[in-house]
């Protein structure tokens, strides 16, 4: 289940640029960005950006361990990414591992496998650092088009990070709700039953209650959503016949349209989701839970902003995320 690279070039980096490889290994997918980064000019040029759904977090919420088949899928993908890095002459590499590998008892098997395949040790970052990297990646391209403070929400497979700030993070919280975790824990029917949906919503709302104690959601000037669940919902709102990164990146959607699209995806069967032209095969079974989490976040932030005397009418989708933040951290 692989997405094709955005672009590719074996030419040497321009003077002043550093060729870096950023790898983000989450609960659901493993992604690679090879880019030329120029710290003097503040530019990042993509050479290769790709994703594979490996479902590293398969069963971790239930067993506390990485499943052997999930580990094998992930290390196979890592070996393919290592080959790309060699071919493109990468100078610096950083491999960041997130929720599933934080939680697993046998994470050393994962660490040893990555070192053998790639030659660098994966960093099992904290939720707070994950949030900071996502914030850096997302806000690096917002410019002055949207009002601060920015609330960046990175909705992953096992966790969701919320980070608020202007130039840099000012408050952040990682929550243990994500599309894979909520699917495995609650949304087992096809389509999910009302009881399953209610239980999942209760989990997400409790997590947001906890996050709101750290992150003042009512201060949000612009809500920015990241990662596959959010971009898939965005494709649905836009009515895309196929996934189009350029149209999705920077899309500004109304809150009402976003919530309606989330409800529609949640209510569909897996067969109906799979028929959507923009749907990645690896997201068919978990997008309902992803849409549920995103709808709860959007509604909660809208209500918190309203309670603070403001109005949140739109949400912004970004294709620039933790991968970009990891790349910037290398220079």
Encode the chain (331 residues) as per-residue pLDDT tens digits. 444 444 445 578 888 899 999 999 987 789 999 999 998 888 889 899 998 988 887 877 778 888 889 899 999 999 999 999 999 999 999 999 876 666 678 888 888 999 999 999 998 887 778 778 888 888 877 767 899 999 999 998 888 989 999 988 899 998 989 998 999 999 999 999 999 999 999 999 999 999 999 999 999 999 999 988 999 999 999 999 999 988 999 999 999 999 999 999 999 999 999 999 999 998 999 999 999 999 999 999 999 999 999 999 999 999 888 899 899 989 8
- Beta-ladder partners of 52: 2, 30
Same fold, 2-124 and 128-322: yes
Helix pair 68-88, 107-118: axis angle to 10 deg: 20
* Residue recorded with tokens 């978990």: 286
Q: Is 183 left (phi over 0), alpha (psi -120 to 50) or beta?
A: alpha
What is the C-alpha to C-alpha distance for residues 143 and 246, in angstroms, rounded to an integer?
17
CATH topology for 2-124 is Nucleotidyltransferase; domain 5 (3.30.420)
Q: What is residue 73's predicted lDDT score, i.e. its pLDDT?
A: 93
Q: What is residue 7's predicted lDDT score, i.e. its pLDDT?
A: 46
Answer yes or no: are the C-beta atoms of 139 and 44 closer than 8 Å. Answer: no
Assign 302 to helix, strand or coil.
Answer: helix
Answer yes or no: are the C-beta atoms of 166 and 149 closer than 8 Å. Answer: yes
Q: Which long-range contacts (CB under 8 A, 24 or more apart) does 254-258 make?
A: 254/313, 254/314, 255/298, 255/299, 255/302, 255/312, 255/313, 255/314, 255/315, 258/233, 258/294, 258/295, 258/298, 258/315
Of 83, 82, 25, nearest to 55 by C-alpha is: 25
Of 264, 262, 260, 251, nearest to 224 by C-alpha is: 251
Q: What is residue 100's predicted lDDT score, i.e. its pLDDT?
A: 64
Its CATH class, for the domain covering 128-322, is: alpha beta
- Beta-ladder partners of 175: 160
Residue 223, phi then psi, degrees to nearest 5: -95, 125
pTM, rounded to two decimals: 0.79
Of 160, 155, 176, nearest to 233 by C-alpha is: 155
Listed by start position, the domains of the chain span 2-124, 128-322
Q: What is residue 2's predicted lDDT score, i.e. its pLDDT?
A: 43
């Amino acid at each position: 289940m692989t997405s094709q690279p955005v672009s590719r070039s074996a030419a040497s980096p321009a003077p002043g640029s550093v060729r870096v490889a950023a790898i983000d290994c989450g609960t659901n997918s493993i992604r690679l960005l090879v880019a030329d980064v120029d710290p003097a000019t503040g530019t990042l040029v993509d050479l290769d950006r790709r994703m594979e759904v490996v479902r590293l977090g398969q069963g971790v919420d239930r067993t506390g361990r990485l499943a052997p088949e999930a580990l094998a899928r992930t290390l196979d993908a890592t070996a393919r990414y290592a080959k790309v890095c060699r071919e493109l002459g990468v100078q610096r590499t950083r491999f960041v591992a997130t929720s599933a590998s934080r939680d697993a008892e046998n994470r050393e098997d994962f660490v040893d496998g990555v070192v053998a395949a790639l030659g660098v040790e994966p960093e099992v970052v904290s939720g707070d650092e994950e949030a900071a990297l996502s914030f850096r990646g997302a806000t690096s391209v917002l410019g002055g088009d949207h009002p601060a403070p920015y609330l960046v929400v990175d909705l992953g497979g096992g966790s969701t990070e919320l980070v608020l700030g202007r130039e840099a993070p000012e408050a952040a919280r990682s929550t243990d709700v994500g599309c894979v975790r909520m699917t495995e824990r609650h949304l087992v029917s096809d389509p999910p039953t009302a009881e399953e949906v209610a239980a999942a919503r209760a989990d997400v709302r409790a997590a947001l209650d906890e996050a709101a104690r750290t992150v003042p959601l009512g201060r949000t000037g612009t809500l920015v959503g990241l990662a596959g669940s959010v971009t898939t919902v965005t494709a649905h709102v836009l009515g895309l016949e196929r996934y189009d990164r350029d149209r999705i990146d920077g899309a500004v959607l109304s809150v009402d349209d976003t919530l309606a699209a989330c409800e529609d995806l949640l209510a569909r069967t897996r067969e109906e989701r799979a028929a959507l032209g923009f749907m990645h095969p690896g997201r068919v079974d978990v997008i309902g839970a992803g849409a549920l989490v995103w709808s709860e976040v959007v509604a909660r932030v809208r209500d918190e902003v309203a309670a603070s005397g403001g109005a949140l009418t739109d949400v912004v989708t970004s294709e620039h995320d933790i991968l970009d933040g990891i790349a910037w951290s290398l220079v």
